[in-house]
Amino acid sequence: MSLEDWDTAPIPIPPRSRLLGTAPFGLRTPLVESLISYLLRLAARHLVPVGRLILREIAPLTVEGLGRQWTEHSTTTALRVCGHNICGTGPVASTFADAVARLTLRPEMRRLTLLPGFSWLPQLGLVRTSLAYCPAFFAAMGDSRHIPLIWSLRPLKMCPIHELRLAESCPNPKCGLLPAISYHSRIGLCPRCGMDLGVAAGTILDLDERAWQRFVYSQLAPLVTRDLPTTDELARRAIVSAIAIAAPTNASLSRELLTSKPSIRGWLAGSALPSIEMLLRLAYLADVELSELADGICRPRGGPRTRHPAWSPIQTKKRMPWPEVEAILRAELAGTTVRSFHAILPDLGRFKSSVVDHFPELVDELKSRYAHESRRAIEANRAEQARAVRAAVAELREGGAAPTKRAVEAITGLLLRRGLLTAWRQEVRLAPTG
């Protein structure tokens, strides 16, 4: 072959992504993972905390589209205050999805948010502000753990696979509610104590609540898998038709829905849309599909229904007598371990300020003891992690490999920062070099 026969045209090189993005779990299924879950897996693949990934890579691309909370506060504060909106329906979700799609060259990032199917709904009461999870789901998934998007919806309180109540707290009673995302969040682990969430005990719902949660899942699943968003004008007309089917008068409908008559008048006038919880109840009473209401279609499958037995009006707790409050506080102090004062308050049925005014000595003793036990637990946890880092360095040395920071993190599964970083440096400095 002569030189004239050579093809000297440049070879087309496909575009390269800034981040190594993988395919999302469960795409186009009701259990598709959320954008928060994808961010956590993306950070784990690059061996950095998710907060650092957002600060260094995503934030420079999203400054113009984010609100004041993200531009005037630190990344840690912004994630704690409004991090749950990353997989919601507002501008935070759209800007994060576009930024991640640009960095990973994956255009399907908006499907990991509630934008396609729920943007026509009011944001109030739509998205959870804390993390909800099923312990059995985490335990069964193994290395394929992810957080389904549908878990972030506030009306869903049951795992559709295992039919267990979705937990929102760490198995460690001292940690409390789990944030939707934090600077050091990892999938399936508590960001505060590092405990595996898959070991938590699941709670079974009663029969009525389980039946209602099955209905909720059947209504929300088609919206989660929706491709294109809809407009609220189509939904308003269908909601008016559903109201006429559900009950003959506003008074009877307010009794069935357990809501006020002015709210119903606002829905009929088109000045407001029902919340997601009220829409689910309305769809049940009128026997229509919520996904059809979103498209402006009101097609009842049967006759109107009566109120579901799982519905209950919001009831306020009865105030506990002060002698019983004192007995609970003293019983808590008599135990081997104590909970935080914030965790005990729901059991008391009293305001925080009134309990402090009545029993200042007991509250101070409870707080000081809880702080002392928390410090001891943190120190023990840090010591155990430091021993794991030293053992990893020794293992790498014995195998003839260099005890680099990334190698130690891969063995221990820990992020070397602060005290662990100091322990690693000391061990590397003291270890024999051969």
What is the pTM (predicted TM-score) of this model?
Answer: 0.71
Instruction: Indicate the SS3 state at residue 198.
Output: helix
Contact 173, 67 (CB under 8 A): no
Q: What is the pLDDT of residues 377-406, one digit of tens each?
A: 878 878 888 888 888 888 888 888 888 888
Give the amino acid at 240.
V
Spatial neighbors of 401 by CB under 8 A, at least 6 apart, are 407
The pLDDT assigned to 24 comes to 93
CA distance linking residue 103 with residue 107, whole number of Å: 10
The pLDDT assigned to 159 comes to 92
Confidence of residue 298 (pLDDT cuts 50, 70, 90): confident
Give the amino acid at 416.
L
> In the predicted model, is pLDDT for residue 312 greater than 60?
yes
Choose the weakest-confidence range: 15-19, 149-153, 201-205: 201-205
183-187, long-range: CB < 8 A, 24+ apart: 183/49, 183/50, 183/51, 183/52, 183/75, 183/76, 183/79, 184/49, 184/50, 184/51, 184/415, 185/40, 185/50, 186/40, 186/44, 186/50, 187/37, 187/40, 187/41, 187/44, 187/145, 187/146, 187/147
The pLDDT assigned to 66 comes to 61
Confidence of residue 104 (pLDDT cuts 50, 70, 90): very high
Domain 230-294, CATH 1.10.260.40 — does that match? Answer: yes
Q: What are the extents of the domains in the chain? A: 15-205, 230-294, 322-430
> In the predicted model, is pLDDT for residue 319 greater than 80?
no
The pLDDT assigned to 434 comes to 40
Q: What is the pLDDT of residues 228-280, one digit of tens each?
A: 777 778 888 888 888 888 888 888 888 888 888 888 888 888 888 888 999 99
Confidence of residue 315 (pLDDT cuts 50, 70, 90): very low
